[in-house]
Amino acid sequence: VSPVDYKASHLSATLPGLVNIAAFVPGLAKPGSRDFEKVMKASAAAGFSMVRIMPLGLENSLTDARALSTAHNNARKAAFCDYNFSVAATTTNAKQLTNLTSEVGSLFIPFNHFSGNFNKVAAVAAHFEVWPTNKPIVTDAKTSDLASILLLASLHSRNVHITSVTTKDDIKLIALSKAKGLQVTCDVAIYALFLSQEDYPHCTALPTKEDQAALWEHLDIIDCFSVGSLPYQVSVDVKGTGSPTLGIAEALPLLFTAVADKRLTLEDITKRLRDNPMEIFDLHEQPQCAVEANLDRSIRIEEEDCWSPFAGKVLKGSVERVVFEGETSCLDGVLIADGTVGKDMSSSGPRPAPTVKSPPIKPLV
């Protein structure tokens, strides 16, 4: 195992281990589902060393202790890197969730998910009343729901993270709110930066071309990049069935292509996939994790088992090696790590000391 890249003459880059801040696991709370394993494998292979699991499944969400227990069962032996769980708000579970705060990373208030959405401000207010201020509140609220959430955050003097922003109006409202001192952060799904309704007029979850341009214009306002459930939604809209892993492997190649096109810098990427996520979601350091990329290598996305909107397209830049806790966990797309290397980081507090498996190596970043 060598962190040194010895192949000749190509532009390489070493990034820190990255954070998948919003991994969508359709069968999350469904007993026996292997979706968690699939998503973790894909994430670990793609360069993510930490995965924040969205608490929203396709039909069932993590709205109580029982569902959370099912999710933990599904996660057994599937820790291909570190991860944590969160809980989902419903109109009635504000009080009950307070028993679970120490066991989860954050609270998600859904407005635009496949199921379980809010439609009343008053019910949201109940969560702001009782959810502890030291744990993030995340929401996918849009338009006037977004405004409601921002107002409540402002009234309660607390931070809130808006996930998967897709429209010009919303990014502008967030920009204005930030300018006025509101404690709001946000992410944009990587798919939303590279796909629009111009590509798939049927997919209203995608930004319009004009919305997409506004997202790029407000890059300074975008704290994180995410995978989220947008790729799944696109696969449902286009192919009729959703793919749980779509969008994960493409995440970095898409961003690297934007670097080649001078639309992004590598620093833009690490800031939004490591530094800001760590700060916003209070995540642990992972100094022994890294991603080695070949920025010169053009790759062609192949449609193998799964359809991809980028199939047949050429992207510039690929992940060559992923290092997790000092060990190569993935090499040229082949996952080496098994499902025991990662840790469940759902409980708050510092990361448990790692079980030493190999001689320590120098930090890579």
At position 170, the amino acid (one-letter code) is: D
Q: Which residue of 13, 147, 219, 236 would you call a contact of its own copies, by CB under 8 A?
A: 147
> What is each CA distance from 155 to 151, 159, 172, 275, in whole angstroms?
6, 11, 20, 28
Assess 130 for contact with its own copies (CB under 8 A): no
Nearer to its own copies, 217 or 285 (CB): 217
Q: How many C-beta atoms surround the C-beta of residue 261 within 10 A? A: 9
Site stretch for its own copies (CB under 8 A), options 101-109, 116-124, 242-250, 293-301: 116-124
Please, what is the minimum distance in Å from the beta carbon of residue 157 to its own copies? 8
Nearer to its own copies, 125 or 365 (CB): 125
203-232 residues in contact with Zn ion (CB under 5 A) are 218, 220
Q: Which long-range contacts (CB under 8 A, 24 or more apart) does 149-155 make?
A: 149/109, 149/124, 150/174, 150/177, 150/182, 150/184, 152/121, 152/124, 152/125, 152/128, 153/128, 153/182, 153/183, 153/184, 154/182, 155/128
Nearer to its own copies, 102 or 144 (CB): 144
Helix-strand-coil split of the chain, %, nearest 5: 30, 20, 50
Strands 48-53 and 82-84, bridge-based pairing: parallel
Site stretch for its own copies (CB under 8 A), options 44-52, 95-103, 169-177, 212-220: 169-177
181-240 residues in contact with its own copies (CB under 8 A) are 182
Q: Which residue of 35, 37, 140, 145 would you call a contact of its own copies, by CB under 8 A?
A: 145
Please, what is the minimum distance in Å from the beta carbon of residue 346 to Zn ion? 6
Q: Which residue of 51, 78, 173, 264 would you call a contact of its own copies, by CB under 8 A?
A: 173
Strand order in the sheet with 327-331: 12-16, 290-300, 314-324, 327-331, 334-335
Please, what is the minimum distance in Å from the beta carbon of residue 361 to Zn ion? 18
Assess 176 for contact with its own copies (CB under 8 A): yes
Q: Which residue has the tokens 């969160």?
A: 86
Assess 179 for contact with Zn ion (CB under 5 A): no
Chain residues that interact with Zn ion, rule: CB under 5 A: 5, 7, 12, 72, 129, 218, 220, 294, 320, 344
